[in-house]
């Protein structure tokens, strides 16, 4: 017999919180909330509306419960995750799939019946003695065809507070959309706590039910596992987009200005450690988002929005010199949550790469900290975790774009794929067309590991569109989605690639940090067909004269012809080796579009023909203007 969850909740909730749910007039909301109140068995339930009072209640609870602690600067707090709960748990993040259904090698799965029983068993009475927070949010701007409504259930005030900073409030939107049955659902519990951190990380689970648009997350506090509307929602959105003909991408959205001050908008997908955030936050430009974008085709082109309204960013190496706007916001009164940094006795946060003198002792993710402190394995514990974070609203940054909340989105002039390699790709290049760009730049995207992060330098990691960790569909289906998307627009000369990490034979970087603004200025000029370029077997590269003008006009510095030649020499052996690597990966996968192999074969043939004429390494002056 079906449970009447409305009557059940009327008995379990106090009058105020029941009425908040009742005003939504949604059977689906009642059923979702009621089911998990019944299973998780909280002591009380707080329903968060869009009101300032409800928002303040959760923020204050985070401090009262010890999940966050106030810092020296007004509005700033710090949260500590457990020592072994500092990153996304890829091993225990799994899709619940029916028997016989598969996605691909890059996806962890478990049998849906078995996994559902396991997670519901873990959730049984898990909130006993705690308060449950029921929060309503909106992914994307409100009142938009991009909007996706979502409900988060959690027993962590820190998680609910983080989501308030990162996402638009959605309670009133739910009231307007009473018939909405496709909202995203998230159930989280930090589980049993010890010193305000999750105790049972051995039972940490993040399970995703694509059929129900539902994500479970238990025995974890780290925001990447618990803030459901972030990368967990991206997985749900990719599946939804595949059915509806739009794109959910791991991309920034930013403007690039010209000499007149007019703005054009671009999206960019860069794997970790490839310069994504530093590009999105370039001085002199404006940012709409640094992480996740939804893209739709309209009659006049591609439009995109930022799914979020805030940033959950890595704080390592954020400093006054390299990140002046962000650094200023992190040191100004306002609402900021720091996580897993070092805090001194005065309540001042410190982190790796902050600059200036660090305190000699304090508290960090390991407890009391001092220089030279080691863990149980004898490894020295850094002053802050390498994955330490900050959570802040975009509107608190001076460079936030005025169209952040535009329900129509912003018109996109180009898509940029940023990889990291020392010896193959030039600093900037334009694809020959949409198909060649999606396949040879997006679907072939690689990033090299660094010794500082993974202990083995130079290993190339395959990461198509910088989205492989979050795909909820087959890779071939995802590539076809991107290819089909380009068929809906007239101007398909929109795909670009960048590589900030090219080196010479001695290992010296051929690009300086600030040079990335030049590559973006060139991209805008090409996207708007204002300048010519040189046609190579792999794409279009800049003319020296155009870059020389940009370097002088934007950075006020000379750009020697020798630098240009070294940066834009076509490295044929390395390009051919990359094609073989990519082909070998895709040969082992199923349902890959035939055009992927034919496009790679065509580029391979163009490179071989060029080598017959010019040798292995081709000076850019050998190519013709087109």
Residues annotated as catalytic are: 274
Return all residues near 191 (Cβ < 8 A) that are at least 6 apart.
122, 126, 198, 199, 200, 203, 218, 219, 220
Cα-Cα-Cα-Cα torsion 442, 447, 453, 454, nearest 10 degrees, comes to: 110
Cα separation values, 236 from 192, 239, 343, 443, 445, Å = 28, 5, 36, 21, 23
Residue 178, SS3 per DSSP: coil
Q: Which helix (H) or strand (E) holds 119?
A: helix 112-123
CA–CA dist 231, 225 (Å, integer): 8
**CA-angle at 360, arms to 356 and 365, nearest 5°:** 95
Asked if 40 contacts 127 with a C-beta cutoff of 8 angstroms, the reply is yes
Asked if 409 contacts 146 with a C-beta cutoff of 8 angstroms, the reply is yes
Give the DSSP letter of residue 125: T
Give the DSSP letter of residue 443: T
DSSP letters, 368-393, are EE-TT-B-TTSPBPPSS-TT-EEEEE
Closest CA to 394 of 525, 283, 263, 291: 291
CA–CA dist 416, 497 (Å, integer): 5
Closest CA to 315 of 355, 283, 346: 355
Give the DSSP letter of residue 420: B
Asked if 51 contacts 170 with a C-beta cutoff of 8 angstroms, the reply is no
Q: Which residue has the tokens 């040879």?
A: 440
The dihedrals phi and psi of 45, each to the nearest 5 degrees, come to: -130, 130
Parallel/antiparallel/unpaired status of strands 263-269 and 252-257: antiparallel
Angle between helix axes 15-22 and 27-40 (nearest 10 degrees) is: 140
């Amino acid at each position: 017999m079906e449970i009447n969850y409305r009557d059940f909740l009327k008995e379990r909730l106090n009058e105020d919180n029941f009425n908040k749910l009742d005003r939504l007039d949604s059977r689906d909301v009642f059923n979702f909330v009621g089911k998990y109140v019944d299973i998780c068995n909280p002591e009380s339930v707080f329903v968060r509306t869009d009101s300032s009072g409800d928002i303040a209640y959760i923020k204050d609870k985070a401090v009262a419960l010890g999940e966050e602690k106030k810092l020296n600067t007004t509005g700033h707090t710090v949260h500590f995750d457990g020592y072994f709960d500092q990153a996304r748990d890829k091993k225990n993040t799994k899709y619940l799939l029916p028997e016989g259904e598969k996605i691909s090698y890059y996806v962890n799965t478990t049998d849906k019946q078995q996994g559902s029983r396991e997670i519901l068993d873990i959730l049984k009475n898990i909130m006993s003695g705690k308060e449950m927070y029921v929060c309503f949010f909106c992914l994307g701007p409100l009142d938009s065809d991009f909007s996706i409504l979502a409900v988060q259930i959690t027993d962590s005030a820190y998680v609910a507070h983080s989501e308030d900073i990162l996402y638009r409030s959605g309670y009133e939107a739910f009231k307007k959309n009473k018939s909405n049955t496709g909202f995203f659902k998230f159930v989280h519990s930090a589980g049993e706590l010890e010193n305000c951190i999750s105790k049972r990380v051995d039972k940490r689970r993040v399970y995703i039910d694509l059929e129900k648009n539902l994500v479970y997350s238990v025995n974890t506090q780290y925001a990447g596992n618990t803030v459901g509307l972030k990368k967990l929602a991206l997985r749900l959105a990719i599946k939804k987009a595949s059915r509806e003909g739009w794109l959910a991408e791991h991309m920034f959205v930013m403007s690039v200005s010209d000499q007149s001050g007019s703005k054009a908008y671009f999206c960019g997908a860069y794997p970790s450690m490839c310069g994504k955030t530093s590009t999105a936050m370039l001085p002199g430009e404006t940012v709409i988002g640094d992480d996740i974008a939804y893209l739709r085709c309209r009659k006049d082109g591609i439009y995109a929005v930022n799914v979020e309204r805030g940033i959950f960013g890595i704080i390592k190496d954020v400093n006054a010199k390299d990140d002046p706007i962000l650094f200023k916001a992190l040191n100004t009164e306002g609402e900021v949550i720091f996580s897993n940094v070092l805090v001194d006795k005065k309540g001042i946060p410190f982190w790796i790469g902050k600059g200036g003198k660090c305190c000699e002792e304090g508290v960090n993710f390991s407890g009391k900290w001092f220089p030279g402190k080691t863990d149980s394995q004898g490894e020295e514990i850094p002053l802050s975790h390498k994955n330490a974070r900050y959570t802040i609203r975009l509107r608190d940054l001076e460079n936030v774009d005025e169209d952040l909340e535009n329900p129509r989105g912003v018109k996109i002039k180009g898509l940029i794929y940023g990889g990291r390699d020392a010896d193959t790709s030039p600093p900037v290049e334009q694809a020959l067309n949409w198909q060649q760009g999606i396949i040879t730049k997006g679907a072939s995207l690689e990033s090299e590991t660094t010794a500082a992060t993974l202990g083995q330098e130079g290993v190339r990691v395959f990461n198509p569109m910088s989205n492989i960790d979050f795909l909820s569909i087959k890779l071939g289906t995802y590539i076809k989605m991107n290819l089909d998307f380009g068929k809906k627009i007239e101007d398909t000369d929109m795909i670009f690639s960048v590589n900030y990490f090219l080196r010479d034979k001695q290992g010296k970087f051929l690009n300086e940090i600030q040079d990335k603004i030049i590559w973006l200025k060139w991209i805008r000029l090409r996207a708007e067909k204002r300048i010519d370029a040189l046609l190579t077997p792999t794409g279009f590269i800049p003319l020296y004269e155009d870059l020389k003008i940009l370097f002088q006009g934007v950075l006020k510095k000379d750009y020697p012809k020798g630098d240009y030649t070294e940066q834009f020499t076509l490295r044929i052996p390395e390009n051919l080796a990359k094609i073989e690597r990519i082909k070998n990966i895709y040969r082992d996968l199923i349902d890959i579009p035939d055009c992927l192999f034919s496009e790679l074969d065509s580029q391979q043939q163009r490179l071989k023909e060029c080598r017959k004429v010019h040798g292995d390494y081709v000076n850019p002056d050998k190519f013709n203007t087109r």
